[in-house]
Amino acid sequence: MAKLTHFDDKGKAVMVDVSGKADTAREAVATGKITVNEAVYSAIETGSIEKGDVLGVAATAGIMGAKKTSELIPMCHILPISNCRVTFDKNPEKKEIHCTCVVKVNGKTGVEMEALTGVSVALLTIYDMCKALDKSMEIGDIYLQKKTGGKSGEINNTKNR
C-alpha cells in the first residue's frame, strides 16, 4: 500500500517537500459531466442563454480554475502550468455535456488536481449560467482519466461514459 505523503510523523498535514525531485514532463486528463433538461440543452445548442456563450465561458473558467488550484486545495504546490485545454462533447440523447480538461507542466509534481479542478469549475460554470432554466442539473462522474510523468509513470483510468 502506498504511503500517504501529506502527513508528518505526528499525523499533521504538511505540504510534500519536492525540492529534491527532478523536473519531468507531466500531463493529467480529467473528465466529468453535467446532465441538464431539454430547455437547457436546447438553449446551449442554439446559443440562446442570456448570459452568453455557455461553453466558451465555461472553458475559460475551467482554465482559470486549473491555474488557481493551489489557492483552493491547501497542500497543492503552485505550478508553472505550460498548457491547459478544456473541451466539451455533447450527448443529445442523454442531455449530457461531457467536459475534459488536459493540463501539462514540466515540474517536480503532477497536475492531477489542476485537471480535476478545471473540470469541476467548468461544470459549475455551466450550472451557474443555466440555473434559471433548470435547478435540477446534476454534475457527476468527475475523475482522473489519465496521467503521465513522475515516479508512478503512466496511469490510465478508463471508465465507460
Q: What is the mean pLDDT of the chain?
A: 91
Q: What is the dihedral of CA 67, 71, 77, 79, to 10 degrees?
A: 20
Average pLDDT value for residue range 138-159: 90
Identify the pLDDT of residue 153: 81
Confidence of residue 3 (pLDDT cuts 50, 70, 90): low
Active site residue 23: no
Judge whether residue 161 has pLDDT over 50. no
What's residue 13's pLDDT?
Answer: 78
Predicted model pTM: 0.90
- What pLDDT sits at residue 105? 97
- Reading the block at residue 59, the C-alpha cell is 472553458
Q: Which of 8, 128, 134, 141 is catalytic?
A: 128
The answer to whether 122 and 58 are in contact (CB under 8 A) is: yes
- Closest residue by Cα to residue 84 from 43, 14, 26, 6: 26
Q: Cα separation of 76 and 71, whole Å?
A: 8
Sheet architecture: strand order including 155-156: 83-91, 96-107, 24-35, 138-148, 155-156
What share of the chain in percent tops pLDDT 70? 94
CA-wise closest residue to 103 among 78, 83, 132: 83
The string of pLDDT tens digits covering residues 13-41 is 777 878 878 889 999 999 999 999 999 99
Q: What is the DSSP letter of 51?
A: T
Q: What would the grid cell of residue 15 be? A: 505540504
CA distances 105 to 6, 26, 73, 123, 144, Å, are 21, 5, 18, 23, 16
Residues 46-73 have a mean pLDDT of 95
The domain 25-150 is placed in CATH, from the list 3.40.1370.10, 3.30.70.640, 3.40.640.10, 3.30.70.1140, at 3.30.70.640
64 versus 150: which is more confidently predicted?
64
Q: Tell me how far apart the alpha carbons of residues 160 and 79 are, in angstroms, rounded to a whole number.
A: 31
